[in-house]
């Protein structure tokens, strides 16, 4: 079968590799129907986030089951979302909902991100994928949901969801601020989820006009961030999401958080040291969370919200591209690419 392989920044190759087979009672083999480009993929492809190749690429997928062990409960033809992180569903971490930290596999185990010597699990930009722990990992795609709309439900949509959904469950109707930027799609998904879940007010700040228009299409207010022009926080929000990925924006997010507010940073800060105004956060009593998302844990709720017609991630997708052109399109400057076979 064919598999897209990352070699080095700006360099991808299609390789012929052996087709996977079901060899365990918890295995399934699936055929990708729609594969989304994660925000991180863009930065790996450009070299902004250094990862040493070669490794199979792509990790956000909706797929169709081709073969599965009987114990998994899946049958050929079932349409499923394939969460990007490998998790067993049985270890203490998984049972607590921390599927990003599954103890049954090596740290950071996932599809499409095996750079720097990590164990290879294959990638989604391929003819077929082997899914371990399929009885736990695979989540059925609800009837009526377009695979293209749900492709990013494997990673980036739950990443935005977890920054607002648990918080709004604690504080129904709370105000939400999203500071957008480098985590291009995750910030937008957070804004869309906040609207879908009934936040009192949702404000999306970003200097990118296209992303602001997409946030408004999902029901949020949107304004330029303008930190370079000296913008200071004008309001205080109970829930704040930092998706910009740079220190000034993180500081702005802290200062925009109301006393006893909830702040989640969904962006990756790559500097060895990132200044954070902790004194102000301390006196305000801010709860600051920085972590990877446990996508599998949040996936059923995400799909349920999409199925009932409240969450519309399709507004974030700016372009659909064939698998054959995936390597060339990977650095496309937009919030969300979706690849189709």
Q: How far apart are CA 155 and CA 142, in angstroms?
A: 17
Provide the mean pLDDT of the chain.
95
* pLDDT (tens digit per residue) in 9-33: 999 999 999 999 999 999 999 999 9
Q: Burial, 188: exposed, middle or buried (Cβ in 10 Å; 0-12, 13-18, 19+)?
A: buried
- Structural element, H or E, at residue 44: helix 39-46
* pLDDT (tens digit per residue) in 255-283: 999 999 999 999 988 877 888 888 889 99
**CATH superfamily of the domain spanning 2-154+293-340:** Medium-chain alcohol dehydrogenases, catalytic domain (3.90.180.10)
**CATH superfamily of the domain spanning 163-290:** NAD(P)-binding Rossmann-like Domain (3.40.50.720)
Give the pLDDT score at 120: 86
Q: How far apart are CA 147 and CA 318, in angstroms?
A: 15
Residues of the chain with pLDDT under 50: none
Residue 105: closest CA among 125, 124, 130, 85: 85
Q: Please, how many CA atoms are within 13 Å of residue 36, restricted to the half-sphere of its CB?
A: 31
């Amino acid at each position: 079968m064919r598999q897209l392989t990352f070699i080095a920044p700006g360099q991808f190759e299609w390789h012929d590799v052996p087709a996977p087979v079901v060899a365990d009672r918890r295995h399934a083999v699936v055929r990708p129907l729609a594969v989304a480009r994660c925000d991180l993929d863009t930065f790996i492809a450009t070299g902004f986030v250094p990862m040493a190749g070669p490794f199979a690429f792509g990790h956000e997928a909706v797929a169709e089951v081709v073969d599965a062990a009987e114990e998994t409960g899946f049958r050929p033809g079932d349409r499923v979302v394939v969460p990007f992180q490998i998790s067993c569903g049985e270890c203490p971490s998984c049972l607590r909902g921390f599927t990003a930290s599954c103890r049954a596999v090596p740290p950071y185990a996932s599809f499409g991100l095996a750079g720097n010597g990590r164990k290879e699990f294959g990638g989604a930009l391929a003819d077929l994928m082997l899914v371990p722990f399929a009885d736990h990992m695979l989540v059925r795609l609800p009837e009526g949901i377009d695979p293209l709309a749900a492709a990013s439900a494997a990673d980036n949509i739950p990443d935005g969801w977890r920054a607002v959904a648990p918080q709004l469950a604690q504080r129904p109707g709370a105000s939400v601020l999203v500071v957008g930027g480098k985590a291009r799609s995750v910030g937008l998904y957070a804004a869309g989820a906040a609207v879908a879940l009934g936040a009192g007010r949702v404000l999306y700040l970003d200097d990118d006009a296209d992303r602001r228009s997409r946030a408004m299409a999902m029901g949020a207010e949107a304004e330029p961030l303008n930190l370079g022009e000296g913008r200071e926080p004008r309001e205080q929000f109970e829930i704040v999401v930092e998706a910009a990925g740079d220190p000034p924006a993180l500081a702005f997010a802290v200062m925009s958080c109301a006393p006893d507010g909830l702040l989640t940073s969904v962006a990756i800060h790559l500097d060895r040291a990132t200044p954070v105004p902790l004194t102000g956060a301390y006196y305000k009593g801010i709860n600051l969370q920085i972590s990877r998302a446990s996508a599998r844990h949040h996936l059923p709720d995400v799909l349920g919200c999409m199925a009932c017609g409240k969450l519309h991630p399709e507004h974030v997708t700016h372009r659909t591209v064939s698998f054959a052109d995936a390597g060339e399109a990977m650095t496309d400057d937009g919030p969300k690419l979706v690849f189709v076979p």
